[in-house]
Amino acid sequence: VTSRGGEDRSKRSAGIVPYGLLSPGILWLLLFFLVPLVTLGRTSLSVKASRFDPNDIRLTWELSNYTNAIGDYSEQFLRSFVYAGTATVACILIGYPIAYVIAFRGGRYRNVLLGLVVVPFFTSFLIRTLAWVNVLSDQGPVISVINYLNLSGALESLGIMSDGRLLSTHTAVVGGLTYNFLPFMILPIYVSLEKIDIGLADAAKDLYNNGWQAFRKVVLPLSLPGLFAGSLLTFIPASGDFVNAKFLGGPRNTMIGSVIQDRFLVQGDLPTAAALSFMLMIIITIGTLIYARMLGTDDLI
Amino acid sequence: MSALAAAGVVGPGLLAACGSDDESAGGPSNALWHDNWPGYMDEETLDLFRKESGLDFKYTEGFNDNNEYFAKVQADLAAKKSIGPDIITPTFWLAARLIDLGWVQEVPFDNIPNAANLVPSLRKPSWDPEGRFSLPYTSGMTGIAYNIGATGRELTSTADLFDPKLKGKVGMLLEMRDTVGLTMLLTGQDPATAAFADATDAFSMIEEAKDSGQIRAFTGNDYMDDLATGNYAACIAWSGDVLQLSLDDPNIRFVIPEEGGMQWSDVMVIPQGAKNADNTAAWMNYLYEPENAARVTSYIGYNSPVEGVQAILAAGDEAQQAQSKSQLLFPDAATLDRLSVFANLDPEAEAAFDERFSEITGA
């Protein structure tokens, strides 16, 4: 079947039609990706001629924008990747079992369960994050329960709480990232699990694998594309996020997104903001390529 | 272009001055838009003014932080485009910057006879030497706010903010001149004549407090929520905000530190390119009518720049009489003596201060 399909496709590939069909997409990419990318690159190599006029920037191939940015903000870069990485792992640990249950044990409730995963999206991202500010606040319900159970000492020694609070700590920021990006992990994993023929796992068991071995050797490898997609959809936006750090974190939890936001929107320092954005993009691209190779899913890119 | 704009302001202004009280007849448009800080206006005054003037008056609370606001409008102002509002209310140092850059136009004082009620101490400030481009909206004091339930004691000094017992419960402001100014007073330096080198100790103190986790957050006007909900035990705060909060929670108190506090004013300016500059006089004149100023002051809890407000409140109801005796609303000479206004920084010094401060606030 595949070879016949292949023949058909090779015969059809000639002519102008495919390019015509592609042109809206190409135009879109040119206008909204390539042009901004070049502008961003240009700005990142420019110098701001006037402190107060953001339009007055001059291209001087200012490589020091990059070296200064690395020198000043390597801490925030590192912190962003640690936070985003932790949140991604937490999303996998929470999201995979949920996706698994929905795909294999959901039965006729499958659509309802999927709906429940998506329902929180009906409320704005910002409102959901701000709600956590109230939930975690010093006089809020979570701290009350922790104090009632006398757990704060234990949680502090684990580094989860500090100074008797959860709000304005790294725990709150990572927790917020995990919460906000969890559906982006569940949905792609679900899609790849749902396509797996459950008979394959049964066959593995028939061949003397126990349940865990069947999962590890058959189901998990087949769901890797979903896991890969979910990790990217979580890690990439999470590492550039600033909303969670702003509302749930303190001045010691700033992420690179916070710095870019501040440089761009508060200080009006476009060249530094552009250099930071560019570096973030390059680091993430390289990271993604390495990750794809490690998981053996490079054909996806 | 700017000469034409100036002529445009003066021309209809003079005509209206010769005409009736109905200022809306002076301009072709019936609209007016004032962008201000949150908690800076009572609904009653807005309603009364809308009725009296007949203007289609839009009032918004777009200010949370001066730098943030400046970043929002600077591209348009630099390109000589309208930013929307006809009156904006930056803090004095930002107003100074806007005047220097030539991004604001003259206030139509010919049509604001009530501007004569401006208190003498705020006339012709060093950054607007002829007083042509700005009209103060309100003044205020920066000191320490605290929740006595959380601190367990009265606070008296900025040093209390660095007390390890309050670790993680202390807030500071993103307003550099307030946070650094107060800390400079603590380190024995005078913010009124600040040079960058004088602030070295203050900056290190703030930086150490941030690194140790003493400071929970640097915020703009949104600090009020943290104080009200108890996330903060103490913070650097603006007098009127605390006065408003203390009505709901008497545990929330305000003190001008014994080393001294800061004083500032937020001033009305008319951005270049404002579409309804002709209508601004009606509103400014209304605000400078002592009766109206008293109503606004009574609600917002800041220091009115209009003379005669204290006498009107003293003749009012019981609550207003109490307000007329409040040291927060009408500080006496001894209190005023303990307040400093941050120096008018030249652009290089300002850049150095801002850069160092943003390095610490970490964002």
Span B327-344, pLDDT tens digits: 999 999 999 999 999 999
Q: Please give the pLDDT value at position A202.
A: 86
- Nearest chain B CA: its distance from A70 CA (Å): 14
When the pLDDT of each residue in chain B is averaged and rounded to a whole number, the result is 90
pTM (predicted TM-score): 0.84
B111-121 mean pLDDT: 96
What ipTM score was computed for the predicted complex, to two decimals?
0.81
Residue of B nearest to A261 (CA): B363
Helix, strand, coil proportions of chain A in percent (round to 5)? 75, 5, 20
Q: Please give the pLDDT value at position A17.
A: 85
From chain B, the residues in CB contact with A252 under 8 A are: 210-211, 213, 362
Residue of B nearest to A56 (CA): B78
**Cβ–Cβ gap A252/B213 under 8 Å:** yes
From chain A, the residues in CB contact with B362 under 8 A are: 76, 251-252, 254, 258
- Mean pLDDT check: name the lowest of A118-132, A202-216, B15-29, B114-128: B15-29
- With cut-offs at 50, 70 and 90, classify the pLDDT of residue B2: very low
- Rounded to an integer, what is the distance from CA B226 to the centroid of its chain? 20
Residue of A266, A267, A270 to mutate for B, most B C-beta atoms under 10 A = A266
Q: Please give the pLDDT value at position A12.
A: 57
Q: Could you give the percent of chain B with pLDDT greater than 90?
A: 82
pLDDT along chain A (301 residues), means of 10: 50 74 92 94 91 83 93 94 98 97 92 93 91 93 93 90 91 97 96 91 86 90 93 95 94 94 86 95 93 74 52
- Nearest-10 Cα torsion for A68, A70, A71, A77: 140
- Whether the per-residue pLDDT at B78 is higher than 80: the answer is yes
**Cβ–Cβ gap B79/A55 under 8 Å:** yes
Q: Please give the pLDDT value at position A198.
A: 84
B318-339: b or e for each residue (b if 16 or more CB lie within 10 Å)? eebeebbeeebbbbeeeeeebb
Q: Please give the pLDDT value at position B22.
A: 39
Residue of B nearest to A137 (CA): B231
Among the partner-chain residues A252, A258, A268, the one whose CB lies closest to the CB of B74 is: A268
> If we measure between CA atoms, which residue out of B115, B131, B66, B70 comes closest to residue B264?
B66
> If we measure between CA atoms, which residue out of B338, B299, B330, B354 comes closest to residue B140?
B330
- Nearest chain B CA: its distance from A206 CA (Å): 58
- Whether the per-residue pLDDT at B92 is higher than 80: the answer is yes
Name, in order, each residue with C-beta under 8 angstroms of B310's C-beta and a sequence gap of 6 or more.
Answer: B324, B329, B330
From chain A, the residues in CB contact with B210 under 8 A are: 251-252
B188-209 mean pLDDT: 95
Name every residue in B having a CB less than 8 A away from some CB of A. 65, 67-68, 70-72, 74-75, 78-79, 97, 101, 167-169, 210-211, 213, 215-218, 229-231, 347, 351, 354, 358-363
Cα–Cα distance, B236 to B122 (Å, whole number)? 24
- Rounded to an integer, what is the distance from CA B88 to the centroid of its chain? 11
